[in-house]
Structure 1
């Protein structure tokens, strides 16, 4: 038997319905915040992620699915969604002044070769938000409130906390990195990956799954920030608290991608210690990929982790719409009429069904019971000849006698 690749999953029945409902709720919230959708290819040039994400990140150094096409060009299945969005922004000149601020979102599969575990797959799905042309305290707060609004739309509030930090840049970052390196040199036995990070991008050690706890008491980036940036972080914290969000400042919070600058944040499930929404500012990325110098920020949501929380908290996002009518046709003529009636009913947005494998009345009622229909209609040759149809509502069990042209009106609740 051929099985699905490791780190992937199949979705069907109620799981697929819940999945689609979460996506639609995401679109609903994004529409309220006036964001439009962008759809980019599932594979891109390898160079895009090497330049955009950074070759010191785990994504580029270890996790990309790479391939070479017939002309020897290097491509990868997209391992994240921000760099492709920036590439599309630049290539299509969406950065022109009349388009700014450009507010967009994407939904789609992401591919990373990493060890599968709960809520983490090799093909997973991200709901992402990106904004270009805005850099202000008010926008930071709006962006975080957008993530909060999405979780509230799903009734996910329990065990969620927002962690924020401010990543310094320029000379302040150089001074911080010098002190951080001195502190790390006093630590023994850092992992092999962190020894490489120490030379290339020491901040990555703060995000290491093995050694991050060893630098917990080291120098804080916040101490090296300008007074304006300190105040911006503190004011962001104060306003989010006033808005009712559970929020804390984590001075060791960094993101696993090299392009972040300024504010970074995570919505974290404190029970699993997993981030379900994560993002921040990346004000240099557009210019680094060949575009103009414009500020940018955004976040990504792991859809699989959202589904885990919904299952854990027994939250149903979608209630399956009942079948209004299940038809049991008992003859060839009845089957023809069933097709006609179902088409007419579906054009009126009525959910109606049958089972073309029905062999007899007993078999038909078993099918109707399995379908959990609100009403059952048995059609035979006598019903057609007399234009008399008996619908049995499952709630009352009392048959209702109708003419053919009355059936749809009855199902719609019309007199």
Structure 2
């Protein structure tokens, strides 16, 4: 038997209902924040992610699904959503001043070749938000507020917001020099031994070595006065709307394009639910357009796992307005007309296509949580009626053909 590739998942029954219920809740929230949807291709040029995400990141160096097309062009299944969004706004010239601030969101499948584990598949689904235009602590505050609103709305209310500000400019050079000195006596994993020279900030994000860095030198001590003022204003804005963030000096995120504030929201067990921050140089880096930007991403599977752990179910249980049982060939033929009539009236109905016994058909209607059972046989056809049994009141009555919709909708 052919099986699904490792690190992928079939969404079936309750899982798929929960997935789409979550998507609809998020869509309603971002609409209230006045964000518009963008959809980008599932595959892009390899160069986009090399330049956008960073060649030294694990994503680019180890985890991407890259292939050659028939003209030997290097293409990659997208591993994240920010770089494709930036490419799209540059290519379509969406950055003109009258469009700003440009507030976008997306849903889509992403692909990373890594060891599969709970909430981390090789194909996963992500929701993301990107805002282009203003570099203000107010828009940063809105982004964090939006992400926390999503969690609160779906019922996840035990979480911690971790916040940091990445040092930039000349101060970054000084910080990295001091960080390398700090890391010299540490016993590092093989990956981090390479990162110390190529991308030392990434060492702080290592899942293996991070416990050694609790006394790491603090980036905040290296920030310029302007950056300190900006960061303090962001923290103050968050407090003003009732959001208290934990300042986390080890938080750097795993992507090279972040340049200012970064944040993650972690659940009560310390697992990351979502993360993001500011990437003010990425648009310029990819298209020579000076356009500050910030955003965040949420792994849908991780949210669904968090909901399941809390025994929170957000989808509507399966239910029917009516389930039709035909007792003869003529009755079954007539049922097609009846199904069409009821569905055109906006009712959710189904039919016993499997020719079950009466007892089994009733069990099937219960499984489908049908409010009514409609029974029709040759005798009913002669009388131009059907028998409707209300599964809630257990009342059973005969109803004329032209009164069936009213009878069902009146329940």
* Alignment TM class, shorter chain as reference: over 0.9
- Distance, in Å, in 2 between the alignment partners of 1:328 and 1:105 is 45
Contact 1:90 1:291 in 2 (8 A): no
- Distance, in Å, in 2 between the alignment partners of 1:359 and 1:21 is 32
- Distance, in Å, in 2 between the alignment partners of 1:310 and 1:87 is 33
For residue 254 of structure 2, give the secondary structure of its aligned residue in structure 1. coil
Match of 1:154 in 2: 154
- Distance, in Å, in 2 between the alignment partners of 1:338 and 1:97 is 59
Contact 1:237 1:248 in 2 (8 A): no
Q: CA deviation at 1:361?
A: 2.7
Structure 2: gaps of 5 or more residues:
none
Match of 2:20 in 1: 20
Contact 2:318 2:368 in 1 (8 A): no
Contact 2:318 2:369 in 1 (8 A): no
Superposition pairs of residues 16-415 of structure 1, within 5 angstroms = 16-158=16-158, 160-187=159-186, 189-271=187-269, 273-413=270-410
Larger displacement relative to structure 2 (82-91 or 214-223): 214-223
**Matched pairs, number:** 411
- Distance, in Å, in 2 between the alignment partners of 1:36 and 1:381 is 55
Q: CA deviation at 1:195?
A: 1.6
Contact 2:251 2:262 in 1 (8 A): yes
TM-score (norm 2): 0.97
- Distance, in Å, in 1 between the alignment partners of 2:227 and 2:35 is 27
- Distance, in Å, in 2 between the alignment partners of 1:195 and 1:105 is 37
Contact 1:105 1:127 in 2 (8 A): yes
Q: 1:360 to 1:210 in 2, by over 3 A?
A: closer
Contact 1:90 1:290 in 2 (8 A): yes
- Which string of whole-angstrom CA distances, capped at 9 and with x for unpartnered residues, describes residues 326-357 of structure 1? 11101121112211111111112211111211
For residue 289 of structure 1, give the secondary structure of its aligned residue in structure 2. helix
- Distance, in Å, in 2 between the alignment partners of 1:296 and 1:366 is 56
Contact 1:330 1:360 in 2 (8 A): no
- Distance, in Å, in 1 between the alignment partners of 2:359 and 2:155 is 43
TM-score (norm 1): 0.96
Structure 1: gaps of 5 or more residues:
none
Q: CA deviation at 1:360?
A: 3.8
